[in-house]
Amino acid sequence: MRLYLVRHGESTYNRDGLGLGREDPPLTDLGLRQTAAAVERLAGERVDRILTSPLERAAAIARGLAERTGAPLETRGDLIEMDVGETEGLPFREMRERFPGFIEAWRAPDPTDVVMPGGESLAQVAERLEPLAAELHALPDEETVVAVSHNFVVRLLICRLLGLEVPAFRAFSLDLASVSTLSLRAGRASLRTLNNRCHLPPDPDTRA
């Protein structure tokens, strides 16, 4: 089967460099354009199922794609972003001042079991994604699924599907509204594209 993994568009917290987990700040104007571009990128593909995080910044892409393709839309709690606890809405400088021990542990080579202050660990997120990974591996070869989610969740789901350990999530990054593609067959997964953003409008801050 073919799996498209999509990260949501830019929210005000992303724009302002604030910690973002379960809160659901609105999309920026750029985020709205990114959302429309991601929908347009996938609207011409065969889509059998659409899975989405319950948070609106992700659901906006999923809902738009469902309207364009007619594919059934399913809201999945397991696709919600990592609970970042007390770091929600904080700039990094303030995180470093308030939680120096956490920041030091998070920067260690293996942060798998490091718990966000008042939130989740990467290990806990990976564990809640295991049933979804098994479900995706069990789908028919001809099926195509789009899943719209968040930074940590998409990176960890890629790791689980590829059989990589949790620390491997640091080996790659995912831009906002990017699309990554995997093929799943016979219990194995192969990565076809990673962090594809060719469909996105130019970021005003990076124009020449």
Residues marked as catalytic: 8, 81
Residue pair 149/7 in contact by the 8 Å Cβ criterion: yes
- Cα–Cα distance measured from residue 13 to residue 24, given in angstroms and rounded to the nearest whole number: 9
The interaxial angle of helices 29-43 and 56-69, nearest 10 deg, is 30
Q: Given CA atoms 38, 62, 125, 127 in this order, what sign does their dihedral have?
A: negative
Name the nearest CA neighbour of 60 among 48, 45, 73, 71: 73
Phi and psi at residue 6, to the nearest 5° = -120, 130
b/e 157-170 (16+ beta carbons within 10 angstroms → b): bbbbbeeeebeebe
Q: Name residue, tokens 């990114």.
A: 34
